[in-house]
Each structure stands twice: as structure tokens, then as C-alpha cells.
Structure 1
């Protein structure tokens, strides 16, 4: 049996390396698909349930195990949607720069020469590049349409979400557990000629969370639990960048980075009566500092001078999660669930990229020291109701519904996470072909409320040539999530 457990552990770890870069199936880029059984009832009874696969929601869930339990499951996520342009514009600089700053360079717009002087020795008359403080205020041209394909279809690709958990009792009152989950993952992709190209091309969040838990059954009615988390986050962001003047083609900017942080989880379950269970838990947030690089390439006009690859650090915070719920069993075969989750999404207020080599590369004239994208996320609360009904000793059916508001802001929503309020409706079943073997299946339909893309950014902010980007559009979508998993007790 130990040999079999090792095989399951290896399968779970390998599955994460291959497949856990997935599409968001809850608010923003939070992935709640961590239990196939839980998915069948819309995640309405996880904080009060017993078993290894509920450990993600409450470490106290393993406190009443009578034997070892191993779980492995996976979800397929299918999202259909469109992101449509509704009047997006870009303002470029006029380039009316005094000629005293330098002599013209053949092939470059008049006035650019002086700003590039001293960057490439011998290219100009040797006039030193001016500091940003000495530059005149460069006026912007009137807003012009961003152009490109006005409709981006299915920006969220098909994906797989795996999950794994193991727990076992150590004594008659103490249990330990280990879980591998992917709570914050997302992929959105757009074509290089899309209308959103200056705001997003590819956004990929790969998150793997290793959870440990220790749970103690204090007495007949109280179980407590807690543990530590190891959170690995890998991210890739890319977008196109307009060159200084319209005739030149766009370049591309890509940011990559990874980081590991440590957190904690704690929870409790109270059983005031045989037919009632109340649960509560908390998972800490994370302050990630992703070490990686920024690559700039593809420019063929004046901005070709910034073609480079340099070290960078990306900083942002992931939210804490507080969960509470109750399960009532009005009859032996029926369980009714209600669960509430609160997310500290306001911690994810901005994403900042610090370019470590910007000052050495172009003294800040064409590359900023840092890039900050405001997100303005807000804290949210989702609510779920569901039920399990044991038809026979070997067949259980379940269903549930969840209302999950988006943390994104209507006045600041960017195309990287084109999210909206969600309603989720699910069904599921568990088949027990023999004692100790439980096979779970689930299916959920997700309806996303139409939402506005509303993002105002200053491209190249902090450089000599800032440009105003105003993205205005509409996002709509719906999704189907199907899951399958197996639980073994021994």
C-alpha cells in the first residue's frame, strides 16, 4: 500500500508540472477547483466536511479520519467569450522638440536626434543626452483609434486543473496531511494585431501551493487544525508597444519572473449536535517578489535602441481567504450545506516591475526605472448553497449553486483578467464500487456577467516620450467545468 501511495504522490506532482497553468474558474484568477466532490455541490460544504480533499478549505477536516486517505483529481475548464473594442484610443507625442537639442539623424523624425545623443557614440554630433528634468513638456497629438482586430474571441484557452491530497491519523486524536493545489492560476492570450495589444498579449500565472496540516480532535464536539504553506508563483506578461511614430511597426515587451513564499492556514470544526457541523478557517496571503527579466524586442524605428534583456523584479500581493459554513443533516441520507468565503483582494492593488538595468542602459530617457500598473481590486464575498443525497450505500448525488462577485473594478478593468460577476450551477455524483474506493464526477456551468474593459494607462511613463492609452471595450463569456477524481481509504 505504501508503494501505491508513492505512485499516487508522483502522479500528483508530475501533473502539476505539466498542467497547472490554468484558466480562472472563480473570481479574477482564483481557482476554487480543488475538490471534485466539492465542485458537485458548488463548493458549499467544504469547510465543514471530513476528508483529505477538504483540507484546502479547512485543515481541521482531517481531524476525524479513521484511516489513511489519498485523493487525486483533475478538472477540464472550457470558456467561450469575446472581448470587443468600443472606442479605444492612443495619443502619441507631437515631437515638436527644439532643434537645439541636436542635429537630425537621417531616417528619424526631426527632434528625436537630440534626445538620443550620447546613447550611441558617433551617431550624432555628440551633444549629451538631456536629463528628464531638462526636457520641455512634449505635447500629445489628438487621440487616434488603436486599430487592430476589434473582436478578440476566446482569450481564455482550454486548460486542466489538477489537485492532490493525502492524510492519515497518527494517534486516535491527531492527524497529519499534505495537499498540492493551484489556487491562483490564469492564462489569457490575444493575437498581436488585437485592439488590446498595447494592454495585453499573454498573461500566464502558474501557482503551486504545498499545504501541510496537523489536526487534533480536542473532544467530542471540537476539532482544530493548522499548518504551513509553501507558495510558488511563476508569471509571464507580454504586450505590444507602439514605436515613437505610427509608420514604424510595434515592438514587444515581455516580463518573466518566479518566486517562493511561505504562509499558514488554520481552522476549526464544531459539532454542537450530531446533525449539525459548523466550520471556519483562514488562509494567509502572500507578498510575492518575482525575480526574472524584461525582454524588449521587435522595434524597427527609434525605439529599436531599447532592444534589450535585463534583470527585473515584479512585486504584487495575493489575497488572504476566510471561510465559514454550516452543514445540517435533517435525515440520515441528506446533507444541506451553506458556505461563505471572504477574499482580501484589495491587497492586489497594483503590479510593479522594477528594471534593475534601466539606468545603465539609457539613463532613463527611453526606459523607466519602474513600471506600475494599478489594479484597484476590491475585497469580495461569495455565497454557496448545496446538498448531498445518498441514494444507496454505493451512490451519492449532489447539486449546488454559487454567487461569486468579481474583485475587478468597472472603472479600472484591464484585458489581462476580463472578469465579471459569476453565477455557478453544478451537479455531481460519487460511486463506491467497493469499500474504500470512491469515484467522483462533477459538472458546473458558469455564467459571467458582461463587463466593461476600462483601462487608462500612460505607456512609457517616466520616460521622455509618454503616450496615453485608453482601452474601452466589452467582455462577455460563459464556461463549463468538468471534473473527475478518486479517493481511496485504507
Structure 2
């Protein structure tokens, strides 16, 4: 029975507990919407800006604050797109290759959602400050219809993360700020996909995996500044996640019925990538600030998902390292109103031959606009809108159910992502006490 479950899992090889966001935001299943202020300039200067709104990107951002400050934000994320079958076939035992069947067009499989974030910072004397950021960097839900052509590699996925980042920032010299933080991250995930029975006339089986766990990483950064420029550099470590959960397989009939079972206590291990962030803010005039930022993501850390006993197998992911580049402007139109705009280019870590319907990711452009308005001397409201345009891309990862058994069933995927885009609306506030 354990062997049958182990082999059945390979039908969902594209991701076990982490695939979720697909065509949504920064890249793959990472979300960058942790600041409404940053969204307005397409996240082009966060490592070099100051205050709790930039704490996620660089803990040095709070080093010179003079009063206690807090910021909250929420982003409504509205992804759209089509995941289309372009000739996927299934090869059941002793049968000729056949069309996968089902609905050949899956529209908007990535659910709409709201992503909250918040941070607070407090000075301890003239040169030291402490802070706390609470974010959700890997969270969303995909939901394909039960009759979708992609059902054997992607059905329903739910991922929630909560990242709690206590931080300290120190103003070492008048020109140098440094910071360090611990990232305590909770992950809760559920993944499901269909399993083929031995003939197309039989209804599909079902596989559902669940797991959760707490893990720890760290962040460190510096900011160098003078009267007209600030340069920020930070490093967010990769986090090795260990999720403990269960797998349940049901609906298999005939010779496959022995695979129906539930196993508890399964552990899955995987890494989310490190980030090397370099940002700059340059005062061109008294009113105009130019922002730039580049991020290198070590997505090769997400090379496999390792499943522990009793399954004892590794699922290859084969992501590649990649980057994002952004540029933007802040313009102080009045003493109370600041306008922003920016553009960001990001490459996907998914590769041809390894891209599946659960994470139908592609290269994208992110265009942002927004602003801040100071309602009172201590309270400012931030708002932004982003349009993310995704390149059409192939979905072409071959999977198989019941590998190594007489019932082995390859699924030769041939699909594509088309007309994908996302609208993101962010609203936040910043208060000084």
C-alpha cells in the first residue's frame, strides 16, 4: 500500500505543498505586495527607503526613526488568464495514446485574494531602533474545475504563509545604517489533484496532501546615505521548510483500489529562495526622487521536494536563478501629496520542459502608479494600482501516475498560458506616535 501511494504521488510531481500563486505577482509563488507605498513605484526603491514600510526589504530602514511608527497595508490581487490544452495525451496501460479529455480551456484558475501586511518600529535612544514586520510572502489559492484538462497535475491548491520578522536597526555613523532580523515563518498548505483510473469510462480518483510547519531564516542589510542619495543592500536568506502532514488517496477502483489509503506523519522538505537586494534613491530636485532596485533570487534552492518516510522520495523541480529590475519616481506635488510611478521587469524561474499548470508562470512587466497624502501631521494614507502583463508561455511538464508498476500512466502535457494579466490595488496607512 505504501509503495502504491509513493508511486501515485509522482503524478503530482510539479509541486507538493508549495505551488500556489502561478500568474499572480513577483515570480513563481512569491508575493512582493508588502507595502502600498512601494507598490506605487513598482517596488523600485524599497531597500533604500526608510520607515516600517521598508522593513521587509531591509531592517536598516528603521535605524534613524525619531518616533514610534506603524504601517499597515492590504492588496487586492485580481489575476486573469487562460490555461489551454494544445494536445495533451494520456497513455493508459495497453491502450493507445488518447486525448486527455475534459474542458480544454481553464479560465482564471488563480483565485482573487487580499494580501495584508503590517509593521511597527520604535526608537531606543538616538541611534538604535527595534521593529516587527508581519507579512505573507508565499500565499494564494488555485482552483481548477474538476473536469479541467489539467486535473492530473493541478486541481486545487491552497497555501498560506505568515512571516514574523523582529528586527533591529542601528545608525553606526551619520552616513551608515545597519540592520538585522530573524524571519519566523509559518506555512500551511493543502494540495489536490486527480488520479486516472485504468479506463476513461471510470471516474477519476483523488489525491489530497496537507501539511504545516514553523521554520526560521534571517535578513541583514545596510544603507549608505548623504544629502542627495541613499543606497541600500540587503540579503534575505533561503528558508528550509519542513512541513508535517498527511496524504489521502481515494476513488481508485479495480486493480488500483489497493492504493486507497490515508497516511499521517509524512514530512516534506523544500527551500524557498534567498534574495540579494540592491536599491537606490536619488534626489534629482527638491521635489523629485529617482528610485532603482534589482533583486537576485536563488530559485535553484528550490531544486527538489524531499518526502520522508514512509514515502522516501524526491520530486525534482528544476527552477533556475533569476532576477527583477525596477525603476520609479517619487514626486512631491505639494507638502502633503506625493505622487509615484514605476515599472518592473521580472523573469520567471520556471523552465521550458518543467512548467506545469499548477504554476503557469512566465516573464512579466509590472506597471505601477500611486501616491501618498498626509491627512494630519501624524497620519498619511498610501494608495497604488499595478498592472502586470505576462508573456504567453508553454505548459509542457510530462508526469506519470503509478511509476514503475504495470499500471504506469504517462501524461504528456502540451498546453499554453495565454492572455494572462493581473490587476493589483493596494491601500495602506502610516502613523507616527
Aligned mates of 1:295, 1:337 — CA distance in 2: 49
Aligned to 1:184: 138
Gaps of 5+ in 2: 1-19
Q: Deviations over 1:107-162 (max 9, x none)?
A: xxxxxxxxxxxxxxxxxxxxxxxxxxxxxxxxxx3321111110000001110000
Q: Deviations over 1:245-295 (max 9, x none)?
A: 333211000111011111111000001x31011110011111112100001
Provide the alpha-carbon RMSD of the alignment.
Answer: 1.6
- The answer to whether 1:241 aligns with 2:183 is no
Aligned to 1:308: 261
Are the aligned partners of 1:441 and 1:483 in contact in 2 as well (CA < 8 Å)? Answer: yes
Are the aligned partners of 1:322 and 1:343 in contact in 2 as well (CA < 8 Å)? Answer: yes
Are the aligned partners of 2:207 and 2:247 in contact in 1 as well (CA < 8 Å)? Answer: yes
Using CA pairs below 8 Å that are at least 6 residues apart, which structure has the higher relative contact order?
2
Q: CA deviation at 1:21?
A: 9.1
Aligned to 1:65: 65
Aligned mates of 1:22, 1:152 — CA distance in 2: 13
Q: Deviations over 1:179-238 (max 9, x none)?
A: 001111232110111100111101222111100111100011000000111011111111
Are the aligned partners of 2:22 and 2:360 in contact in 1 as well (CA < 8 Å)? Answer: no
Q: 1:317 to 1:462 in 2, by over 3 A?
A: farther
Aligned to 2:431: 488
Matches within 5 A, 1:59-458: 59-94=59-94, 141-271=95-225, 273-311=226-264, 312-354=266-308, 356=310, 369-370=311-312, 372-458=314-400
Q: 1:153 to 1:355 in 2, by over 3 A?
A: farther
Aligned mates of 1:57, 1:328 — CA distance in 2: 18
Q: CA deviation at 1:23?
A: 7.6
Are the aligned partners of 2:21 and 2:110 in contact in 1 as well (CA < 8 Å)? Answer: no
Are the aligned partners of 2:296 and 2:324 in contact in 1 as well (CA < 8 Å)? Answer: yes
Are the aligned partners of 1:22 and 1:159 in contact in 2 as well (CA < 8 Å)? Answer: no
Aligned to 2:45: 45
- SS of the equivalent of 2:61 reads helix
Are the aligned partners of 1:208 and 1:232 in contact in 2 as well (CA < 8 Å)? Answer: yes
- SS of the equivalent of 1:282 reads strand
- The answer to whether 1:32 aligns with 2:35 is no
Q: CA deviation at 1:315?
A: 2.2
Q: CA deviation at 1:433?
A: 1.2
Aligned mates of 1:449, 1:274 — CA distance in 2: 41
Are the aligned partners of 2:111 and 2:140 in contact in 1 as well (CA < 8 Å)? Answer: no
Aligned mates of 1:461, 1:61 — CA distance in 2: 51
**Further displaced range: 301-310 or 49-58:** 301-310
Are the aligned partners of 1:22 and 1:185 in contact in 2 as well (CA < 8 Å)? Answer: no
Q: CA deviation at 1:24?
A: 3.4
Q: Deviations over 1:362-387 (max 9, x none)?
A: xxxxxxx3554322111111000001
Aligned mates of 2:209, 2:97 — CA distance in 1: 28
Q: CA deviation at 1:425?
A: 0.5
Select the structure of larger CA radius of gyration: 1
Aligned mates of 2:400, 2:196 — CA distance in 1: 12
Are the aligned partners of 1:22 and 1:160 in contact in 2 as well (CA < 8 Å)? Answer: no
**Further displaced range: 184-193 or 422-431:** 184-193
Aligned mates of 1:88, 1:355 — CA distance in 2: 33
Are the aligned partners of 2:44 and 2:291 in contact in 1 as well (CA < 8 Å)? Answer: yes
Aligned mates of 1:254, 1:227 — CA distance in 2: 35
Aligned mates of 1:475, 1:370 — CA distance in 2: 33
Aligned mates of 1:344, 1:194 — CA distance in 2: 33
- SS of the equivalent of 1:218 reads strand
Are the aligned partners of 1:248 and 1:301 in contact in 2 as well (CA < 8 Å)? Answer: no
Q: CA deviation at 1:350?
A: 2.3
Structure 1 consecutive aligned stretches of length 4 or more whose deviation exceeds 6 Å: 20-23
Aligned to 1:472: 414
TM-score (norm: length of structure 2): 0.92
